[in-house]
Structure 1
Amino acid sequence: MASVKKVVIIGAGNGGVVAANQLAKSEGVKITVIDKSPFHVYQPGLVDMLFDEKITSDSIRKETRTLLYKNIDFVQKKVIKADIQNHEVVTDDGNKIGYDYLIISPGVTEKNKFGFPPWHDIESITKIRDSMEDLNGKNVVVGYYGLIKCPAAPFEISFLLKRKYPKANVTLLNPVSQPPKLQVPMANLLGQTAKEMGIQVKRGFKLSEVKDNLMVSEEGDKVQFDYAIIDSPIKVHKEFEDLSDSTGLIPTDKFSLKFKDFDNVFVIGDATNITFPPKTGAMAHFEAVYVSKSILSDINGQEKTKFDGRAMCAIYAGINKGMLVYMDYEKSTAQGRNLAFYVSKKMFMSLYWASLTGSINNLLEGLSSAFATKAIPAN
């Protein structure tokens, strides 16, 4: 009888939970998920929470234990080291958990150079929401200055700001002069929406200094602001810095999602150094599905496939309008803008929890395959 293989998953975010539940459907594996938080947050819902007081923390948060299959062990501890050489994970109580396969999905933290309030957790977004007064007539700046999670999110925030405060002077700072070819279809629709809504987009604005109510770029351009929401670049948490490269993220083969040349260690989610397609929950979901299949194929001696980098998500694109974006490593498309995709974006706040258990995997796979046929090669 084959021995049971131990799979340890660091992190109970989107990727970690999806991978665990996918693996739990098979026999011959013992799965342990480790995360310091008892809660799992639907992160795209933070943008909604910022502008809709009807959305509370309970709307976008559930206890992690309730999202995992019963045959999965959940250890609520902080990981202080992933000891790759000795095949074990060390938690802050000194416990060492051995593994045959390791999935690293710990999420990221921020390189907050200028001290702007973070907004990627419930507590932070609540503080920002509470700090908002009537912004009509004010100079409001939204933007980012490095590699962030979802590059569409600052646009979404700008659109929702302009919807709530139509007389606000909204400026969006984008450090990228020209979007990568894969992101051109999405960037074109987002730019079109911004123009129609009277939002000024400053491309190539690389923030270098903030003094009083003035932002200065590396080229010396200046932008005045009364209120600002600025996203900071990401990096791995300090506990995983020994695994990271010069980008501050963990080197990951984009086709196998393996860490360096370790056949039994995988990295998924925001912590990978894969930058295109952009980092999103959708990307983490499809990475998790791929890695779980890859591990089971390895256990069963079956042939493994290559990950194609697919990701698909709905994005707010104006007042009561949304768009749907599909990307993989080679091609992309952006469909919309229309009410249907706006409604889809709203509905996914409820469907998200089902996506974690795998109960709508066939739907997501079918939709992604359908939109893949509409995608245009980047080269």
Structure 2
Amino acid sequence: MKKKVVVVGGGNAGSIVANKLAKNADLEVTVIEPSEYHYYQPGTVDIVGGIGKEEEMIKNTSDLLHARWIKNYVTKVDVENHTVFLKSGDKIDYDYVVIAAGVRNIKLEGFPEWHTIEGAKLMKTMADNFEGKKIVVGYFGLIKCPAAPFELSFILKQRFPKAEITLINPVAQPPQIQKPMAEILGKIAKELGVQVIRGFKIKEIDRQNKIIESENGEKINYDLAFIDTPIRAGEEFSNLVDNSGLIPVNRETLRFKDYDNVFAIGDITNITTPPKTGAIAHFEANYVVKEIQNDLYGQGKGKFDGSAACAVYSGYGKGAFIYMNYEKSYALGPSSIFFIAKKTFAHIYWLTVEGKLI
């Protein structure tokens, strides 16, 4: 009898797991995903910067998933009884469940979300209408990719070379493993004339007077501001999350607590170092595919090493490349090679999601 795998979420990580496991004749794979469309999330920066088109960042979910797809919302994952409950009232039993549902950003009134196509389009409109002098880019809390605010700042500096661009960063000192990334991004910022203020934890934003105040009482004026917001798992996973609002996993096995058949991958896990990127979600997906098949055939467990990577636009046709795992990290660039690599990957991404590449 076939073992049942339920994948919750049909984004980057979920699609890779589903499509690769669907090739195994001993598995019955089902994906629960409510959206008809799949978005290439790193491409939102391209849209804001005017260097990418919306249609390049979207594909139909049906064209990418090669496993059984149920278009519905999950309301609960019952890990004790191996059951996934759906909004429709249906429930699905599983032998293995992979939770790859992504996260939700806390909404901040007056500021668009960074990681959606609609949010990116609104940010582009705001940038298109910018006629002032001061632009502030920042974030608070735990966000998806800490390199993203730098990348956006660099793109905006290229677009508005005469503007005063300030990046406010709540992290006073990055973790040791992230220092190569912090150093190269800081170097690029200095070369471009982007001011970086570390340890600036946002307390309040006065939208009427356009003032951002820190917890220490420091104030910054702006004419245009883009603020990324903290992430958390959806309410449907409230029975699984820890105090961070994310699902706790063993970082070497990506399993939830002591449940050998419950995996969580991508943004929804409580792993924060390496940071949350599409690449670590990809590598996590590949690891889980191998783990489920190893378990199926009694071949024992492996260990996930935390591999993550990202290419970052650094402005003016150049980019930087960052790699890290749990033990080491390095950063390269800026170079036109990494700009080309990042633009190219936006196209190959779709092949990776289908499980046809990497």
TM (norm. structure 2) is 0.97
Task: Quote the RMSD (CA, aligned, Å).
Answer: 1.3
Q: Map residues 265-344 of structure 1 onto 2, 5 A cutoff.
A: 265-344=262-341
Q: Map residues 174-193 of structure 1 onto 2, 5 A cutoff.
A: 174-193=169-188
1:72-122: CA deviation from partner (whole Å, max 9, x where unpaired): 100110111111111111111101011000000111012235652212111
1:25 partner letter? K
126-135 or 279-288, which deviates more? 126-135
The equivalent residue for 1:220 is 217
Residue 243 of structure 1: SS of its match in structure 2?
A: coil
44-53 or 344-353, which deviates more? 44-53
The equivalent residue for 1:364 is none
Q: Percent identity?
A: 50
Distance 1:55 1:309 in 2: 32
165-174 or 129-138, which deviates more? 129-138
Distance 1:313 1:305 in 2: 24
Structure 1 residue 185: deviation in Å? 0.7
The equivalent residue for 1:22 is 20
The equivalent residue for 1:237 is 234
8 Å contact kept, 1:136–1:168: no
Structure 1 residue 136: deviation in Å? 5.5
The equivalent residue for 1:373 is none
1:125-179: CA deviation from partner (whole Å, max 9, x where unpaired): 1122123345365211001011100111111100010111111110001000011
- Confirm whether residue 108 of structure 1 aligns to residue 103 of structure 2: yes
The equivalent residue for 1:155 is 150
Distance 1:133 1:316 in 2: 19
Distance 1:179 1:326 in 2: 15
8 Å contact kept, 2:50–2:124: no
8 Å contact kept, 1:136–1:166: no
Residue 132 of structure 1: SS of its match in structure 2?
A: helix
- Confirm whether residue 60 of structure 1 aligns to residue 57 of structure 2: yes
Quickly say closer, same or farther: Cα 1:237–1:115, change in 2 above 3 A. farther
The equivalent residue for 1:369 is none
The equivalent residue for 2:86 is 91
Structure 1 residue 51: deviation in Å? 1.8
- Confirm whether residue 35 of structure 1 aligns to residue 33 of structure 2: yes
Distance 1:126 1:228 in 2: 15
The equivalent residue for 1:359 is 356
2:226 partner letter? I
Structure 1 residue 199: deviation in Å? 0.6
8 Å contact kept, 2:177–2:328: yes
Distance 1:307 1:53 in 2: 35
1:224 partner letter? N
Quickly say closer, same or farther: Cα 1:30–1:336, change in 2 above 3 A. same
The equivalent residue for 1:4 is 2
1:23-61: CA deviation from partner (whole Å, max 9, x where unpaired): 1222200000001101111100111011217512x2111
- Confirm whether residue 249 of structure 1 aligns to residue 274 of structure 2: no
Structure 1 residue 220: deviation in Å? 0.9
The equivalent residue for 1:349 is 346
The equivalent residue for 1:262 is 259
Unaligned runs of 5+ in 2: none
2:19 partner letter? N
1:47 partner letter? V
Distance 1:189 1:320 in 2: 16
8 Å contact kept, 1:269–1:281: yes
Unaligned runs of 5+ in 1: 362-379
8 Å contact kept, 2:132–2:223: no
8 Å contact kept, 1:135–1:165: no
Distance 1:84 1:19 in 2: 19
Count of residue pairs the alignment pairs up: 356
Distance 1:199 1:313 in 2: 21
